[in-house]
Structure 1
Amino acid sequence: MNAVALPPALQDFERRVAAVDWDAYERPQWSDAAQVRAALADALHAHDRTSSERAYHAVLYAVGNNHAGTYHAIALAVLPFLGELMRHGQGWARSTALEAFFDLALSFEPDRDQQALAPELARQARALRPVLEAIAAQGGADAVTAHEALLALEPGAD
């Protein structure tokens, strides 16, 4: 892993992730608290395309089924951390979080018998609108994804 200095807002990111009681949230049977912590740490430390793709898939499989496009309740606790990486992260870390956010919040659906999660996940996604607007305004590689996310958050985009 390439050692890159973290922005001040993210220096305690892993400590805050470790402080969450991940076992309090329903998650896929193949996921555990250690996997969730590792996936978010991988996203934080993504430094190239390969590590970004690995972290992206790790996050989505930690909270749901990336292949099926579904999520569990644990996604509600992970989404704010993705928002932090989108807001304060740089380069690959931000891209990783943005891509995972896009799929999780805008194309995935709650797993069977968890449809009640959808309104809260949508609320959290809409709360990240200012972050997406800032990313879109900066231009660069993430601007297109941020712009697409903003369009998907528009009322009636469902």
Structure 2
Amino acid sequence: MSEDHRPSPFALNALKAIDADKYATPEWSNAAAIDMALLRLSEVHDANSAMEAYDQFLWTVGDNHKGTFYPVVLSTLPALQYLLTQGEPWTQQAVLESLIDLAGTFAPEAGHEWHMEQAVQARVRESVIAMRPAIEGLTLSTVDGAAPSEGEEARVASAAELLELIDDLGT
């Protein structure tokens, strides 16, 4: 992402949910809302915008208060992985927090546990586990020798928490 936190045209394409209209989605959401939530994640620049983007994203793929998600979350995983590797520290932190909820305490909405004969929760967790190498890289400060920024510190803490969750999921 650039200094003004606006994604490049290439990034805009990477930030689209893949075939979101082919997945069950909350009645209050749709493919366009999901794409907007992913774009908003890419534009995060501080703690407040990170929390707002995280919350908006979780509402577009599920019910954040109930701690549930719909199969459409599967269509967002490539974009989330892109943001982990290409996003600014606050974007990365918001994505990490989303993944902690999705792979940890959240569960599929009742009646939406399966998509194309595959368990949605298992696919989410497998995808998060596969992101481990990228997540491990986020536990380090991006500037050697310099004091980490507030965003880097938040990202490092969230990455460590997600790595711990991944270790728990693997056992």
Q: Is structure 2 residue 61 aligned with structure 1 residue 91? A: no
> Post-superposition, which runs of at least 4 consecutive aligned residues in structure 1 deviate over 4 A?
155-158
Further displaced range: 139-148 or 81-90: 139-148
Deviation at 1:101, TM superposition (A): 1.5
Structure 1 residues 128 and 32: CA distance shift in structure 2, 3 A: same
Deviation at 1:5, TM superposition (A): 5.8
Structure 1 residues 119 and 45: CA distance shift in structure 2, 3 A: same
Q: Is structure 2 residue 137 aligned with structure 1 residue 137? A: no
TM alignment of 1:12-91, pairs within 5 A:
12-18=10-16, 20-91=18-89
Three-state SS of the structure 2 residue aligned to 1:95 is helix
**d(CA) in 2 for partners of 1:19 and 1:84?**
12
Q: Is structure 2 residue 155 aligned with structure 1 residue 152? A: no
Three-state SS of the structure 2 residue aligned to 1:12 is helix
Aligned-residue Cα RMSD (Å) equals 2.2
Deviation at 1:25, TM superposition (A): 1.1
**d(CA) in 2 for partners of 1:60 and 1:84?**
17
Indicate if the aligned counterparts of 1:44 and 1:93 stay in contact, CA closer than 8 A.
yes
Deviation at 1:132, TM superposition (A): 1.3
With normalisation by structure 2, the TM-score equals 0.80
Structure number with greater Rg is 2
Aligned length: 154
Deviation at 1:154, TM superposition (A): 1.4
Any gaps of 5 or more consecutive residues in structure 1? none
User: Which of the pair has the greater relative contact order for Cα pairs under 8 Å at 6+ separation?
Assistant: 2
**Matched-pair identity in %:** 30
Give the residue type in structure 2 aligned to 1:14.
Answer: L
